[in-house]
Each structure stands twice: as C-alpha cells, then as structure tokens.
Chain A
Amino acid sequence: MPELATAVRELTFGEAIKEAIAEEMRRDPRVVLMGEDVAEAGTTFKVLVGLVDEFGKERIIDTPISEAGFTGLGVGAAMAGMRPIVDIMFGDFLMIIMDQVANQAAKIHYMSGGKWKVPLVIRATMGATRRSAAQHSQSLHAWPSHIPGLKVVVPSTPYDAKGLFKAAVREDNPVVIFEHKISYRKVKGHVPDEDYIIPLGVADVKREGTDITLIALSSMVQVALGAAKMLEEVGISAEVVDPRTTWPLDEKTLVESVKKTSRCIVIDEGYFRYGITGELASLIQEQAFFDLDGPVRRLGAMHVPIPFSPSLEDVTVPSERQVFDLARQMCNK
C-alpha cells in the first residue's frame, strides 16, 4: 500500500517508550510506574513528561532516592497482584538494587517451586559519551543476563522499543530493559500508532548482506548500520543482526546469518571483558564453526572506568570506523 507511505509516523526512541508505557497503563490498571522524579519532572531525561497528567500521581509515583527500597517494594507489589515498572535513572545504579533483582526477583519463581510470580519491569539506562564519567555511563546489561530467572531487553530502534516494552509489561517474569540514553532523542523511526507486541527472544535482521555478519546490540546497531554503508562502498555486503534481547536469546537467527556469511563481528557497548560479546562469539563458534572463514571477532567498550574528558571517553566506545576497518580486514578487501 504505497499510498500510506506519506502517512508514516516517526517517533524518537524516547517517545516510543513513553507511548508503550501509556498504552499499557491504559490497558491494565495494575500497571504503575515508580522512580525518582518520574512524575512532574518526567524523569531526568524528560522521557515521561506528560504521563502524570493522564495517570495521576497514584500511578506515576515519585519515590525517595532509594533504589533498592523501591525496587524491593516493586518485587513485593508484583507478587501481590500489581504489574509495576520501576525506573532506575542510570543503569550504573543497578549495583545498588542487585540483591533485589538477582537474589529476590529472579529466584522467587524457582525457589517457590513455580508458585509465586514476579511480573516486574525494571527500566534502566545505558550508554556512554554524555560526559557523565564513570558512575553514570556504563552499559551493564551483561550483569542481569548472567542471572537465571531474568529476561533482558536491549532495544535499538523506536519500533522495537515500543513493541518490546509492551511485551515486557505483559510478561509474568521480571524483565530488565536497558534504554540507550543517547538514543532517546537521536534515534528516530517509524512507530505504528497501534497496539503491537514484539515477543522477547526474537532477533531482527536490520540489514541483509552476504559477506559478513555484524551482530550488534542497542546503540551499536546504529554503529553497525553506519559501518555497513561504508563497507558497501568498498564492495562488502554486511548483514546486521540485532538480538534485541540477551535472554531469551534467538540463537537460531544469529547462527543462520553467520552460516550464510561465514564471517562475524559481535559489537556491544558493554565492557569487552567477560561480557555479551564473549558469550555471543562463543555461541557462534560452537554452532557455526565449520561455516566460518576465520575467528569470530569482538568489539566492546574498553576495559577502563569510563573517563570524563571527551578526548578520553570517545575512544572507549566502538566506532563505525573500527567496525569498518575490522570487517575489511576480515574480508581481505
């Protein structure tokens, strides 16, 4: 239906998330959102501005600066019939709430033999290059991914963010969503003005290609797409695959892409050591070893506390140029 193309609606990444939350709150009165400065302030990133006008302060709830406290409260509320969303302003604060997330929320269903459920959404942010230094810039999505009982969502586009967020709210399990801070305003895209769900655990091929697979998550999807364009100019066809969730993980789509292209780089903004890239590279090598032309390569955040100075910070995050250079080297072009 090409005549509809003119009517395609574009939203920013942040607007898509706000729309997802608003739609789910309209649909289900048990959904509430709580966190620091979420009501009138609409969060420090202004992503939720206006929600309190529609839903009131009983459902868009300002909390004390007490992350472990309100996350623990969210766990209990979820067990007792609510579907809370707790807002963790910076993903770095995950450390503060980790007992409630990893020892409580993640394990309650299993420890109770399947009797209690914890339908809790924890939304946190990730991403460097905002000059926020070492305690407000990390991408820690590998941490909850390590814990059985949690699901972890890392959306890269406004379309995915809305569909995945809505799926997370409807989950009967605790879900941690990492929203990339830079993407809130910078990344725009088509988002249907309707109710749709993207199931957790389904990867998406963001760009088709034949020579090399770039597996990228969150902010690194844009980096991979940028690199793919550069690679096209030198005659290399790159496929960009976005897992969209680190757990559940769509192993099949990742492995099939690499079997087709025979080369793979995994790109993530989390720390390079002991992180997502290592996990995915090992998966590819286990399941596509005989189809590979060479080792799976990885690009991740440097193994340093994220520095403040722009000249230092910018080199810690993988860039389009690094992806381009590595891919070219791997393709011998």
Chain B
Amino acid sequence: MSTAATKSPSKIPTDKLLRLYKQMVAIRLFEERVNDLYTRALMPGLAHLYIGEEAIAVGVCEALRTDDYITSTHRGHGHCLAKGASPDLMFAELLGKEAGYCKGKGGSMHIADPATGNLGANAIVGGSAGIATGAAYASKYLKQDRVAVCFFGEGALGQGLLYEELNLAQLWKLPVIFVCENNGYNEYTHFSESTAGDVSARADAFGMANETADGQNVREVFAVASKYIERARKGEGPAFLQFKTYRYHGHHVGDIARAYYRPKAEEQEWVTQRDPITLHGQWLMDNGVADRAVLDKVQADLIAEMDAAVEFAVNSPYPDPSKVDQDIYA
C-alpha cells in the first residue's frame, strides 16, 4: 500500500479510501463462500446474501467507532463484518458450530458481538428498531457519546414498530441513525407494490433529518453517514438515511428462479453497471489512489483469509447436545 501516503483526491483520506475497498471485497468474498457452503450442503438452514449491497454496511460502519452500536437484519453478514466481526467465528456460527459467535445457537440471522457493539442481527423485519433506539437512549442517559445505527430493509417500512421508534427517537433527540437499505424488493415483491407515498417523507413527518443517497457509491455512503453520525454524537438528534441499492442474489440462497418477480436484464444492469466494488476500484485507479496490482493484492490476501476461515469453521466441532439448555437465563 505504498500509495497510502499520497494526497487523497477526495475529502476522504487515502488509507480510508482503500479500507472502504478492502471491507467491501471482504464481504463479497465471505458471501460467495456462504453460497458455496450452502450449495455443497455444508450449511444448515438458509442464508440471505448481502452481495450487491456492500457499500452501505461498509460506508456506514467505517464512519462508526468500535464502541458504537449497530442492529442488523436477516441479511446481516455484511453489517457484522463491516462492524469488525471475525470471518472465522462468523462462518463457524453459520455452520452451527460451538466456536461460532453465538455458540451455534443463533445462526446466520442472529449474529451478535458485544466486543464490536453489534447488538445482534434480527430475523423479525423491523424488529430491532426498538433495540437500536434503546441503546441510543442508554448512551444519552449514561452520558456516553455512542451512536446507534439501525439497519433495515425497505420491507420494514410496512412495520408499525419502526414509526413508533422514529417518533420516540425524534421526540427525545436520541443518537440513533435509521439506515434504510432499499434494494427494491420485499422478499419476492417489488417495493412499489407494497409501499405508498415517498420514503423520505416518512422521516419528514416526524421532523427528522434525512437524506437519500446512492447506495452503490461507497464514498457517498461514507460521507453522508459520517455527517449524520457526528451530528447525532454531538447531541443534535437522530437521522433517517435511505440508500438505494440492489440485491444481486435471491431473497435467500435457495431463491434461484427469480424471473417471475424481476427481469434478468434488470439484474444484469446492476451487476455490470452499478457494482459498488467495481465502481470504487475503478475510481481508485482513475484517481491514482491504487493501481490494479494493489487491488489484486487486497483481493488475494482476503481470499486466503476467507478460505482459512471456512476451513476453521468446517473443521470445528458442533456443540455438545448437553449445551441445548444453557444460556436461556443469565
């Protein structure tokens, strides 16, 4: 990374620009291996892949501190990794192994990690809005300056709890950022078929600061998130951010035949024209931040790390059945 010391072509420091790239590639490689594990029948249950949406988790989490909080969703691997989770312990959890983040008790949809401020992924759509708002409330009450980010998909716009939390957060000026990842599809239904009115108008109704931005541009996500996170940290209240994005894969790994709900041409357009990693990589090269060799090295190092993490997880033991009734009560 000899280029790291060169003057940055953007307001974002050069090392951060490269970090944004690296983190997105890490998530992409992680998710590709999840799909592979599923296809090879090594992974119990299902997983919801984040491929295509990497710029949002990375752009937002790179603007957070380790002790800031996040809540995540069923499509949460990207958020967990971006917040600092280790791929080996994540793969172990996805395979239901004892070494996993939750001792194999949570699985893909429930990864939680106090060490990185991850309050947990949540399998109830919109279900974590209260948890994130409550963590922000605790931060304010305890006179900490921690910020909480609530990630949710546009599908959660149909859930009542979200609006109760928007009201409470704005009413009590809590340091919480609501991040709507609008990938266009509520499972197998286009969001235009489920969502009346304008998305950001929902935040306007509560008098909440809000902004809509391109979720495929990691620098834009980072800049927008940084602005509102620092504002919240200073005690100036919550924000609602909508990032437009696209889910390359199906709703979950098993959702392969998708033509009945979205055209292949649409998928191809996003994959070939609007991929956040390709776009940011090209930008780094065009602006002299990194050359192809640097980016290839980033990828090669991560491939080695991810493959080792998969191997660790595959070779880890399952929890002993006697552990089934441990951890119900603290």
- Asked, given contacts A68-B160, A77-B141, whether A117 binds B134 with beta carbons under 8 Å apart, the answer is no
- Asked, given contacts A75-B131, A149-B329, whether A112 binds B138 with beta carbons under 8 Å apart, the answer is no
Partner of A103, one of B69, B124, B165, B167: B124
- Asked, given contacts A63-B168, A69-B165, A71-B130, whether A113 binds B138 with beta carbons under 8 Å apart, the answer is no
Chain A contacts for B59, CB-based, 8 A: none
Check if B112 sits within 8 Å of A111, measured CB to CB. Answer: yes
Chain A contacts for B164, CB-based, 8 A: 64, 66, 68-70, 72
Check if A109 sits within 8 Å of B160, measured CB to CB. Answer: no
Partner of A115, one of B113, B127, B168, B329: B113
A32 to B186 CA separation, bound complex (whole angstroms): 37
Which DSSP category, helix, strand, loop or mixed, fits chain B's interface? mixed
Give the Cβ gap from A73 to chain B, nearest Cβ, in Å.
4
Among B5-13, B101-109, B225-233, B240-248, the one that faces the other chain is: B101-109
B139 — nearest CB in chain A belongs to which residue?
A80
**B108-150 CB contacts (< 8 Å) to partner A:** 110, 112-114, 119-120, 122, 124, 127-139, 141-142, 146, 148
A148 to B105 CA separation, bound complex (whole angstroms): 14
B contacts with A, residue count (CB < 8 A): 46
A110 to B165 CA separation, bound complex (whole angstroms): 25
B163 — nearest CB in chain A belongs to which residue?
A69
Check if A73 sits within 8 Å of B130, measured CB to CB. Answer: yes
Check if B102 sits within 8 Å of A111, measured CB to CB. Answer: yes
Check if B103 sits within 8 Å of A76, measured CB to CB. Answer: no
Check if A112 sits within 8 Å of B110, measured CB to CB. Answer: yes
Chain A contacts for B114, CB-based, 8 A: 115-116
A119 to B71 CA separation, bound complex (whole angstroms): 18
Check if A149 sits within 8 Å of B167, measured CB to CB. Answer: no
Partner of B330, one of A82, A99, A103, A109: A109
Check if B130 sits within 8 Å of A68, measured CB to CB. Answer: yes
Asked whether A173 is an interface residue with its Cβ less than 8 Å from the other chain, the reply is yes
- Asked, given contacts A80-B138, A111-B102, A113-B103, whether A104 binds B167 with beta carbons under 8 Å apart, the answer is no
Check if B326 sits within 8 Å of A77, measured CB to CB. Answer: no
Give the Cβ gap from A114 to chain B, nearest Cβ, in Å.
4
Give the Cβ gap from B317 to chain A, nearest Cβ, in Å.
15
Asked whether B328 is an interface residue with its Cβ less than 8 Å from the other chain, the reply is yes
Give the Cβ gap from B192 to chain A, nearest Cβ, in Å.
27
Asked whether A74 is an interface residue with its Cβ less than 8 Å from the other chain, the reply is yes
Partner of B105, one of A66, A111, A117: A111
Chain B contacts for A58, CB-based, 8 A: 141
- Asked, given contacts A70-B168, A76-B135, whether A149 binds B142 with beta carbons under 8 Å apart, the answer is no
B161 — nearest CB in chain A belongs to which residue?
A68
A103 to B159 CA separation, bound complex (whole angstroms): 15
Check if B330 sits within 8 Å of A173, measured CB to CB. Answer: yes
Asked whether A314 is an interface residue with its Cβ less than 8 Å from the other chain, the reply is no
Check if B327 sits within 8 Å of A69, measured CB to CB. Answer: no
Chain A contacts for B276, CB-based, 8 A: none
A73 to B148 CA separation, bound complex (whole angstroms): 12
Check if A64 sits within 8 Å of B135, measured CB to CB. Answer: no
- Asked, given contacts A63-B168, A99-B127, A103-B127, whether A113 binds B161 with beta carbons under 8 Å apart, the answer is no
Asked whether B153 is an interface residue with its Cβ less than 8 Å from the other chain, the reply is no
Check if B327 sits within 8 Å of A75, measured CB to CB. Answer: no
Chain B contacts for A82, CB-based, 8 A: 137-138, 141-142
Check if A66 sits within 8 Å of B168, measured CB to CB. Answer: yes
Partner of A112, one of B102, B136, B165, B167: B102
Chain B contacts for A172, CB-based, 8 A: 330
Check if B135 sits within 8 Å of A108, measured CB to CB. Answer: no
Partner of B131, one of A76, A114, A115: A76
Check if B168 sits within 8 Å of A64, measured CB to CB. Answer: yes
**A44-95 CB contacts (< 8 Å) to partner B:** 58, 63-64, 66, 68-82, 84
Give the Cβ gap from B98 to chain A, nearest Cβ, in Å.
9
Give the Cβ gap from A79 to chain B, nearest Cβ, in Å.
6
A-B contacts besides A80-B142, A80-B146, 6 pairs, CB < 8 Å: A69-B161, A99-B161, A103-B124, A109-B327, A109-B328, A111-B120
What are 29 A-B residue pairs whose CB atoms fall within 8 Å in the complex? A64-B164, A64-B167, A64-B171, A66-B168, A69-B165, A69-B167, A70-B164, A71-B130, A74-B130, A76-B71, A76-B132, A76-B135, A76-B136, A76-B148, A78-B134, A79-B131, A79-B138, A80-B134, A80-B146, A81-B142, A99-B124, A100-B161, A104-B128, A104-B131, A115-B113, A117-B330, A148-B328, A149-B329, A173-B330
Q: Which 6 A-B pairs have the closest CB atoms?
A: A72-B130, A76-B134, A69-B164, A80-B138, A113-B102, A113-B103
